[in-house]
Structure 1
Amino acid sequence: MKIRLATPEDASACNDFYNQYYTDKRTLDQWRWEFCSSLYKGPMAPFVMVEDGGCVVGTQAMIPVPMIDGQGTFWTAKSEETLVDPHYRGKHLFAQMYELLFDYAKQNDIRAIWGFTPAERAFKRVGFAVPGATSQLFRPFSGRSVKILSDRYFVRKKRVQWSALKTMAGSLAGAGLSLVSSALNLSQRIVERRILLNGLHLKTLTDPPEDISELSVSFVKQWGGTTIFRSADYLRWRIFANPHVSAVVRAVYMNNQLLGWIIYALDDDSMGYIVDLMAISDSVDGLSAVAVIKILLIDAVKRLQKAGAVGVRAWHINDHPFGRSAAQLMKRMGFFLIRKGYQVVVYPHLETIERQSLNFFDNWYITRLYTQGLLG
C-alpha cells in the first residue's frame, strides 16, 4: 500500500472512491470546488490518499480555514473526507494518513485542526480532544417537518430516542404552532417599524462587497473569542460559487455601514437551513447587535416560510456569547433546542494550542457555513 498526498490529477480516482463509498453522484466540479479552490497556498488542499493495487482504499483531507481573533488572522484546517474501505479497517490507515497531515500542519503554521464526527474514538486515538458536540435549533412550520427531521436524519442513524420528535408533531401542528406563528408575525411588524424608524436597509447580496471582512474584525472586537475570517474571497468561494447549493445572503445596513448578515438555504425536502449569522452593534446610533440578530432571523424565517419551507434548522455548538444570544432569540421565536449531533474534535488538545483564543472551546464561534455537509 502507498500513502501519499494527492495531486489535482488524482481528482477522478478520489471522487470515484467517495461515490462508491456513499453510493453518491458527486461531480468532479464539486470535488474540485471543495479541494482545489482553497485560498491557501498550493494547487489544492492537503489531501492524503491510500492506494493498493492501483485502487484508492482510503482518504483523509484538511480544508484550510482562515480564522480571526483579537491578535489578527491565522490558519486552521477542517477535517474532511475521512474514508477507509471496509475491507482495510484494522490496518491503522486513519492514523497513518493523519501522520502526514500533522506534519503538514506543523510545517505550514496551521494552528489547529477541527471537525465534526460520529467516530470520535478514532480521532481521540490519534490525539484529538473532544471538547463538545453540535446541537440543533429546530423551528417547525408544520408537523411534516418533524417527520422529515426524524426519518431522514435520525432514524437512519439508529437514534431511536428521536422518535420522541414525532410526538411533538401533533401539538406543533395545532394550537401551539399557531400561537408561535402569531407571535412571530407580531415581532415582524415591530421589526419593520424599527427598520423604518432607524433608517435600516435590508438587501440580498449576489456578490460579497470587497470590504466585507471588516465585519469579522468588528465582530471579534465586540464579541471576543475567535471565528472564521469571512473575507470577500472566502465567502465567494464557500457561498457564492458553491456548486452544491444556491444560498440566499441577506445583509442589514445602517448609514451604509454593514451591521450583519444571515445566510440560508432550502434543501430538496423543503427543509430550511440557517447557514451563517453575523451581527455587530451600530457605532453611531447605538443599535444593539441583539436587535440586528432579531431583524435578520425574522427576515430569514419569514422568507423561508414563504418559499415553502416546512421548517428551519440551525446549529448551536457551544456557549460563545454571540451564539448564546442568537439561541436565546431563536427559542423565543419558536425554535426548539435539541441536544443531539456530532462530536466536535480538535487537534492538538485545546490547552496546548499556542494561540490563546483557541484554548477554550467556548471562545469559538463556528456556524454551518458549509463546514459540515452540503447544507452546512
Structure 2
Amino acid sequence: MVWKRFLPYLCVRLIPQNLMFSNFCHLLKKEIHRVALYSKDGTIISGKAPVTPLQNSNFDGSFIAFCAQMHYMYSMPMNRIASWLADNDFRIGRGTIGGLLSKATAVFSRLHECLRQAVLEDSYISGDETFHKVRVEEKNDKGLKIKKGYIWDLVAHHLRLAYFFYSRGSRSEKVFEEIIEGYNGTFQSDAMPVYRKLGDGKYDGINRIACLQHIKRRFIDIKEIPKAAEILRLFNLLYDREHRHRIGRDGWTVADNLRWREEYAPPILARIEEKLNAVKTDPHVPADSDLMGAVKYALNEWEWVPAIFSRGDYDLDNNLIERMQRLVSLLRRNSLFFGSHKGGETAAMYLSLVVSCRLNGVNVMEYISDILNRCASWSPTTPLEQYRNLLPDRWKRSETAD
C-alpha cells in the first residue's frame, strides 16, 4: 500500500446547543477534515469525509437550516444574518446565504410536491392568499421594477400540514386550479370569486364552507352603528358558545361537539339572518353605506355558513391559515421584496416546511438539516411516496444525524 497525499476537506457545521448570550460565538463550528488518498494494486482509494448536500459547497445541511430558520421563521433579512455571523467571527456574504437557500430547493422540490399531495388527501382544508413584493424586469407606473406578487397557501386541518405556492406572483383562477386539482373534500375560505366558484358546483367533489371571521370583521369596523353592533353581538354569541368546549379537552369528542353545535347554533343563526334581512329591506339604510355593504357581504356568503356547524370538527373561521400568513407579513416588512420570481418560489418551499413543522411541534432547524443531508443523494426521479414519511407529521430524525 502506498500513501500518496492528504487533501484538506472543509466542512461548515452549525452545532445546536443550549446557549447563554455570551456563548453565541460557539454556535458555529468550522471543521477541517483531512482526507487520506492511497493506492493499492493500481486503485486509488479515498477516505470518507462528511457529506455536504450541495455540489461544490462546503456547507453542511445544519448551516443552511440555520439560515432558513432565521430568514423564513424569524423574518431576519439575509444582510442581517450575515452581520450577526460576522459579529461572531464567521464571515459570509448575504449573496452566499441567498445562493445556499436557493440551491437547496433542488433537494426540496420533490418533497414540496409530496407535501401538496398529502394536503389534498385531507378531507378538510382551508385556503387563502397573501402578497409580497417582487422585483421584475418591467417598470411599474412609478418607474420601479417592483410589483405585487401573490403567494397561495393551503392548510390541512387533520394532518396539520401547510402548503405554500408561488407562480410568478399570479392570483389568477388558472393558478388556483393548478393547486387544487384532484381535491375532494371540504374547503374553507373567504369570499374571493375564485373560491366562491367552489360552492357554485364548478368543482365536483368539493364542498365549500364560509369564514365567519371575514363576515364579522365588516361589522367590527362599523360597530358604532347600533344595527351593526346588534349583529356583531350575535356573532360574538356564536363564538362564546363554541369556546365553552374544546375537542380533546376533558374527553370532549368531535361527536360531542357536533351535538353541542346542533343545540346552540340554529337559533342564533336564525336571529342573525333575520337581522341581516331586516337591514337589507330597511329603506332608511343607504344602499352605498358601510352597513349595507357589510350586510350584503354576509348574505352573499350565508348559503355556506350553516354548513360550518354540520360537523363537529370544522373551524368557525380561517384564523389558522391567517396566523400562518403572519410569517409572510413579517418577511414582507423586513426584507421588502423577493429578488425575482425564483425568490418567491424559494420562499414558498421554505414557508411550507417551516409552518408544517410548527403545526406539528417539530424543531424547524433539526428538520431542515436532517432532510437536506438525507435527501441530497436521492435521485430526482425518486417516487413521491418515498418522501411521505419525511413530511413533518411523520418525520423521525435520522439515526445517523449528528
> What TM-score, normalized to structure 1?
0.26
More helix by share: 2
TM-score for the superposition, normalised by structure 2: 0.25
Higher Rg of the two aligned structures: 2
Bigger share in strand? 1
